[in-house]
Amino acid sequence: MLDEPNDRPVRILHLEDSVVDHALVLRALRRAEMDFTIDRVETLEEFDAMVRDRVFDAIVADYRLRGFTAIDAWELLKMHDKCPPFVLLSGAIGESAAVAAIKLGMSDYLQKDDVAKLAHTIHRAIDMQETRLAKDRADAELAVSERRLAEFAEHLQSTIEQERASIAREIHDDIGGALAAVKLDLAWIGRHLSDPKTLSHVNSATEMLQHALGASQRIMMNLRPAILDQGLVAAVDWLAAGFERRTGIKTSVQSRHTERDLPKAIQLTAYRTAQEALTNISKHARCNQVTIDLTDSGNVLTLEVSDNGQGFSRTEMVKPNAYGLKGLHERAKSVGGWLDVSTCDGQGTSIILSVPLPDAIAPKSKDTSE
């Protein structure tokens, strides 16, 4: 990292084989009242040794020197950890060559006839270098922050799924078991009752108990989709059927999925994406038709959930509290995929999940012995 030039003299390395031209540079910098120190080298070997052992704020170089050019010096400089601003000061090249040198990464170009502007050019090059370095540091810090955020989101999703599975097991083992036992006892009581009024209450309690058993089963399925053990298509079909039954919205599933042995993480991501999309549709879409399309062509698993509802604007997509969509984006990233949302006011919405599949995953072989 370069120090601020105003804190101390600007340290300059001058690559120049002409004593006269070096003297002109000294005079121009002094006339500009620049606070500086300067070292002159003539050969590429001296230049390499100097930049290896010393720290400079800027390098000023002639273009053509004995046996090499400033391009050679620049390529050598880039091999070192510290690369200060590199200013060409030459009258030996044309504008096109100077532009080409700038494209290589050099900071600036100045003709020797304009040597009076050298102090300003050096300060500007140093300022630009500091700005670039600050941006690079900020970009690196942002990349680290984004990576940590993605890791945290993935960890959070994993923790949520583990907690859901734990709750589902407790419902199944404790609540489900207790309700099933009570149902058996009520059935026994019903078989041994003769009073019609009491029997009516027992039958009513049995119906309510059956409703509670159904609710517990539904909650368990939402918490831990055991249906995925039967394959992703079966799980999506089950989701769609339940959604249509609860909402009355016609829901169709179109599958061109070859039933590969997908990793559990990818299956769960696709399932949760479909589940969240259907939940959003029931709350906001105001539609009468939903289509779910599931394919794995091109070695990419694609799940698209579309409705013919009212859609929403781009502004709503980026609202701070749009956590549902943000969660789906992060969930897709956790398995190396991505999420696209296509929507427009009054023209419906499509949520598309795409996940590249590992090459090792092959379609299930079909039994041809039947």
* Domains of the chain listed by start with CATH number: 5-137 (3.40.50.2300), 227-370 (3.30.565.10)
Report which secondary-structure segment, H or E, holds 24.
Answer: helix 19-31
Identity (one letter) of the amino acid at 353? L
Tokens coding 319: 């609202």
Tokens coding 10: 């600007």
Tokens coding 125: 């090059």
The whole-number pLDDT of residue 249 equals: 95
Model-level pTM greater than 0.85?
A: no
The whole-number pLDDT of residue 103 equals: 87
The whole-number pLDDT of residue 5 equals: 46
Residues 6 or more apart whose CB falls under 8 angstroms from that of 200 comprise none
Rounded Cα distance between 330 and 334, Å, is 6
The whole-number pLDDT of residue 361 equals: 55
Residue 295 in contact with residue 236, Cβ under 8 Å?
A: no
Rounded Cα distance between 279 and 27, Å, is 76
* Long-range contacts from 125-134, C-beta under 8 angstroms, 24+ separation: 125/58, 125/85, 125/86, 125/87, 126/2, 126/5, 126/10, 126/57, 126/58, 126/85, 128/85, 129/2, 129/84, 129/85, 130/2, 130/4, 133/1, 133/2
Radius of gyration of the chain (CA): 36
The whole-number pLDDT of residue 90 equals: 86
The whole-number pLDDT of residue 369 equals: 40
Q: Which residues of the chain have pLDDT under 70?
A: 1-6, 92, 258-260, 314, 316-323, 360-370
